[in-house]
Structure 1
Amino acid sequence: MTSNQIVTPRRPVGPQQRAGDRRGGDLLSIGAVLAYLREDFPEVTISKIRFLEAEGLVEPQRTPSGYRKFGPADVERLAYVLRMQRDHYLPLRVIREHLDAIERGEAPPALPPAGERPGPLEQADRELDTPAPGGVRLGRAELLAAAGAEERELAEWESYGLVVAGPDGGYDADTLQIARLVAELGRFGLEPRHLRQVKAAAEREVALVDQVVAPLRRHRNPQTRAHAETTARELATLAVRLHATMVQAGLRGQAR
């Protein structure tokens, strides 16, 4: 397979296929789906599958008692999403566009050549450089669904100050991203108590950036104040790159 060849699901994933699944066929529990997917994606978890469902990338059936039941098309959609994330670092928004195109009977957008695909660090840079959507407010239940987490997990994150609700009790886009990352780290065995050092390091970096931009934010000129926010994002991106590069260099040093 060439590096820029489009990879599509092995079975149709359109509405007719999903409708066929709902009329019968081989329906699987979430545990059976997990066992099947782990052959190719050993890192996948039940929480990950629930998260992808919350994001609207798969819509399993529900039994009267509330249990999820997945048809063949649902499993193929999950495999496609996981493959695009692992092999091509595509964000969920782009993967959803691919799946929508496939459902319409169209070819999904061409994948960029291997040399042009962003690695995990570059993708993080892009996301950090894009301001979070303004005005996004999630309730507690919505945050739990979007992060693929349980109530007890959120309560523990809040007890360690990793996730903080706003004055109105809601959560913004930045908090949602933090919750998702904390949940992902938790699947590798990192507990909230382990992440206190990460939070402390982030607070020190915020203070460092603030030393540079605070005079700009207090300036009388509106353009200068606007420049302060651009400068803050640039500094944050550089700080994240420095931190990630130092961690990667340290891990490589230990592997020698």
Structure 2
Amino acid sequence: MSIGSVLDLLRPDFPDITISKIRFLESEGLICPERTPSGYRRFSVTDVERLRFVLTAQRDQYLPLKVIKEQLEAIDSGAATVGVREARARATGAGASGPGRAPGTADAHVTPLAPRRLGVVSGEVSPDELRTDHEIRVTRGDLLARAGIDEKFLTELVRAGLITPGPAGFFDTDAVTLARTARAMSEFGLEARHLRAFKLAADREAAMVAQIAAPLAKSRDAGARARAEETARELAALSLTLHTCLVKTSVRAALGG
């Protein structure tokens, strides 16, 4: 397949995938597509499966590329643990004939894993809720329906700076997830104004990540922007891990654990 065909296969599940992203993953040794005599890339079904594995691990598990590459190498060598093999089956759609997956190529003994639960929001997280494509426009009415909130609550979230509509008045899918989470937290007595502290903390963490990643994007190298985006993603993942550990430790201490 051409790189354009690969984009068509992956975009339904990963709307933010770009040609530069695929080229960057190739430069990092995560995929190795063949080249035609004229230099054009040609991708196999295996290449697409590896891409799905990498993108799913980044999106769902926030894993750094170094760790993902080690997992792929373990799979290639046959030394992968059961957990890694199951993760690969989940990423490549084992047991189903999805886009980029040839029918009947799944390992018969592996059962795909269900999406992880995030936060206190009840129910499993759908693929749409895990996407990061901010160009997907959501109307105000659609946001209210999908998040299960009313106009008053949404207005409070906007006033608190937790949700910001775009210039045309539309929202993105992250706003839906945020509103749903805020609604779940309100059941514990937390109002939108109380959640402002989370927003301020997130802004400080984002500023720190940007301060480190931004200079990389200013380089004149061809892949500078892709490297900056990957650096920001990995720093954000580490930040989330650190934040989670600190909150868990503090909660245990507060409860006397």
TM-score of the superposition, structure 1-length normalised? 0.50
Higher relative contact order (CA 8 A, sep 6+): 1
Higher fraction of helix: 1
TM-score of the superposition, structure 2-length normalised? 0.49
